[in-house]
Copies of this chain bind each other. A is one copy, B any other.
Amino acid sequence: MTLFYFLDIIGIIAFAISGSLMAMRKKMDPFGVFIIAFATAVGGGTLRDVLIGAQPVFWMKNTDVIYFIVASYFIAIIFRKKLKYLNKSLFLFDSIGLGLYTIMGTEIGLNANFHPIIIISIATMSASFGGVIRDILCNEIPVIFRKEIYATACVLGSIVFLILHNFNVNNAVIYVSTTFLIIAIRLVAVKFKLSLPTFYTKE
């Protein structure tokens, strides 16, 4: 098993748990929770595969993905009472998924020889789309439109990935450092309530 595949699976697990937690917070029935977990976990990658034309989409070619989602779903259900700080867990798993999905999108875009600006777009879209679907289905304001820095972290992470890749840095180093960068940006942004400057003057 390659490092890339391993990170891939961790990203999917993180998003599946974040989806399950959000759906349980909304008191959905067991099947509804599973649908949200599934949609959050595979949403971004499915959009990515459909837009670049890599069909059947990834989870149809690799059944393991579905088993990992099912396992994450049960883990989230079993540990739901231990997760006293539900919002913090949700935030953490969402950030991990965001970081790893950005790496996946950038790597896949690179392999398909797209222009850097397209690679960054694909990475940002595929990383944030799972969370957006989750929020829309759970009737929350989509995470990319909230005050926190979200998609901006993906853009920065993907740019750093491409720069490091250009300097022929080892792939394992790129994957791990970029993922941590994205998670760190989010943690710092939320901790210090950082948000993008606004261009609206107060009325």
Contact = CB atoms under 8 A, between A and B. Distances in A.
Interface stretch (A9-17, A92-100, A140-148, A180-188): A140-148
A135 to B, nearest CB: 11
B51 A60 contact: yes
Given A50-B50, A50-B51, A53-B56, A29 B142 contact: no
Interface stretch (A82-90, A163-171, A194-202): A194-202
B137 A29 contact: no
Q: How many copies does the complex hold?
A: 3
A46 B51 contact: yes
A28 interface: yes
Given A66-B117, A137-B142, 4 more contacts: A30-B196, A30-B198, A53-B53, A59-B118
Which are the 7 A-B pairs with shortest beta-carbon distances? Answer: A53-B55, A29-B196, A52-B56, A63-B115, A32-B145, A60-B118, A30-B196
